[in-house]
Structures are given as C-alpha cells and as structure tokens.
C-alpha cells in the first residue's frame, strides 16, 4: 500500500488534470448546467434569435472587473464540452497569475447559443475561484513581507462549499497556498471529537493504536493529531518517531506556539507543527515568525469574496 500522489508537488495544469480524473468536477459542471437550463433550456436566447442567428459564430471576451489572481480558467474547456462544444477558447492569462482590472482573461469564439448559455456558469466559477486565489495570495504575501525567510506554508481546510471542494482547493494552489487533505479518505486527522472521553494518561497510546490501524488498513498520506494544550503535545512528542507526522496546535496564541516549536525541536521525533484557529491577515506574520511549519486557514475558502467578471461582446 502506498499513499496517494502528492498533489502539492504538481504544477497547476497537472493538478487540474489530476483533480479532474475522479469525475467529480465533470459531475459538478453538469449539475451547474442542469440547474440553469432545467427542462426547457435557455428560453431567453431562443426568444431573441432565430435558429440561424443562434448558430452564428460570434466573439466574446471574459473581462476581470477588478485586480485579482486568476483561477478557474482551466474549467473553460470542460464547460465547453458539457454545454455542447463548438466554442474555441483562447486564454489570455494563466491560472495563478495576476490580472489587472479591465483585462481580458479569455477570448471565446463560437455559436452565439453556446456562449450565451454557458456564460453565467463560467463567470460564477471563475469569479468564485479567483476570489479564493486572490485572498490566498494576500495571506502568502503577508507572510513573505512580515516573516522574511520563513518556510511556513499556508494551507486550506475542509471548510469548503459542498460540491466545490476540488475546485476551491485548486484555487488555493493558484493563490500560492497548499492543499491540506482532500477529504476524509486520503489522510488521518484525529480531532477533539475523536478523543472525547479518552483519559489524558491514555491519550498517547490511543493515538499510537489509531495510527497503526490506519496504516494497516490503507496507507494514508499522513497521520495528524489535533491538540488543545501543551500537555497533549508533550504526550505526542514522547511517541516514537513516525507514529505522528503532523501535530495541529488548535487556537493557540503565537507565544504558546513558539513554546511548542521549542518543545518539538528538543525531541528526536520532530513531527511537523501546524497552527490553526483564529488566524487573520493581521496576525499571520507574527504566527509565521514562531517557526511553525504550517498554518491552515478555513477563511481562505469560506470567507473569500468572488471577483466580479463579465462577458463582453465587442460592438
């Protein structure tokens, strides 16, 4: 048994392909199409144009209406296929790159019917994902500015929009962040609700046995354990090397996190340390200066504001 491939090691085009291979993104796009078209299709376009005009080849541009980091342009080819194909798509910017307000993100040429029908779904996805990428880049840039030389990685969480997780995690990567586990299926994260009722003196042994069962059943990408205090951290640091890969420090202030890093550095096991909870753009620099390895931030996905994008037909 081997762990799943490390998605964080893939460049963005390969990452999108890997995420698409499960069929989940295709299913999402089909649901998005069906909720818009229903049983009757695009009755507005049908009412406005005769068949010849609907099938006429036209040109349109996707325009960013504010500065942002692009994300979601990789979905356009799949959207084109799901909505009926026939549209030639030329991206003018790559996912992960900055876009200035008013800039053309992509040029579309094809049947008027197809372009008008897929317009809102395309703009919704690109706007949502670009918003996540833009917010992620703000956190990444703040760490670089306030903790120069820091190796701290910014990660997402599972606090994602149901059905949109793969694309939202892709957007975090576009912004310069890193993906945590994709879901419950690829890595172990033992949290407070898993250990509720376990006596403190049995905590370390409980984790040891759970990690052994997990690795015996299917090799997870990593075994991570959440701790609420330094006593729990001490119990995990006393375990032999390799039992726990990552320890999550939940809702600890920078002073406590710095103490936790020193405790870890004094041991032989040296698991990675991750901070989470209460992290904001205002305090992330201070947190990164503690020497923490990873900072996971649910706000990257659940507090991001969509970027306003538009589809323009040249006059």
Catalytic residues, which ones?
120, 159, 191, 226, 250
Strand ranges of the sheet holding 57-64, from the earlier edge strand across to the other edge? 88-91, 104-111, 57-64, 309-312
Helix (H/G/I), strand (E/B), else coil: 59? strand
Residues whose CB is less than 8 angstroms from the CB of residue 101 and which lie 6 or more positions away in sequence, other chains included: 64, 65, 66, 67
Helix (H/G/I), strand (E/B), else coil: 312? strand
Contact 42, 259 (CB under 8 A): no
Q: Which helix (H) or strand (E) holds 303?
A: none
- Taking Cα atoms as reference points, which of 201, 189, 158 lies closest to residue 300? 158
Structure tokens at 215: 């690795």
């Amino acid at each position: 048994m081997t762990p799943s491939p490390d998605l964080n090691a893939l460049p963005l085009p390969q990452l999108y392909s890997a995420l698409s291979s499960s069929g989940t993104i295709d299913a999402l796009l089909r649901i998005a199409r069906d909720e818009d078209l229903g049983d009757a299709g695009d009755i507005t376009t049908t009412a406005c144009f005769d068949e010849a005009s609907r099938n006429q080849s036209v040109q349109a541009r996707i325009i960013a209406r504010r500065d942002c980091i692009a994300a979601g342009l990789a979905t356009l080819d799949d959207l084109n296929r799901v909505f009926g194909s026939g549209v030639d798509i030329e991206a003018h910017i790559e996912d992960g790159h900055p876009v200035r307000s008013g800039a053309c993100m992509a040029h579309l040429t094809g049947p008027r019917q197809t372009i008008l029908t897929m317009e809102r779904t395309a703009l919704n996805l690109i706007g949502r994902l670009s918003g996540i990428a833009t917010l992620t880049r703000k956190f990444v840039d703040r760490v670089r500015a306030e903790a120069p030389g820091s190796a701290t990685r910014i990660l997402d969480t599972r606090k994602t929009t149901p059905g949109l997780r793969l694309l939202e995690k892709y957007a975090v990567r576009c912004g310069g962040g890193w993906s945590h586990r994709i879901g419950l299926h690829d890595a172990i994260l033992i949290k407070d609700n898993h250990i509720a009722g376990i006596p403190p003196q049995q905590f370390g042994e409980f984790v040891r046995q759970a990690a052994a069962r997990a690795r015996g059943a299917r090799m997870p990408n990593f075994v991570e354990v959440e701790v609420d205090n330094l006593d729990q951290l001490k119990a995990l640091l006393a375990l032999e090397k390799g039992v726990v890969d990552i320890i999550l420090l939940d809702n600890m202030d920078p002073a406590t996190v710095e103490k936790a890093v020193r405790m870890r550095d004094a041991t032989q096991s040296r698991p990675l340390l991750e901070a989470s909870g209460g992290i904001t753009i205002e305090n992330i620099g201070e947190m990164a200066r503690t020497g923490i390895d990873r900072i996971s931030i649910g706000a990257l996905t659940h507090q991001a504001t969509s970027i306003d994008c538009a589809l323009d037909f040249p006059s």
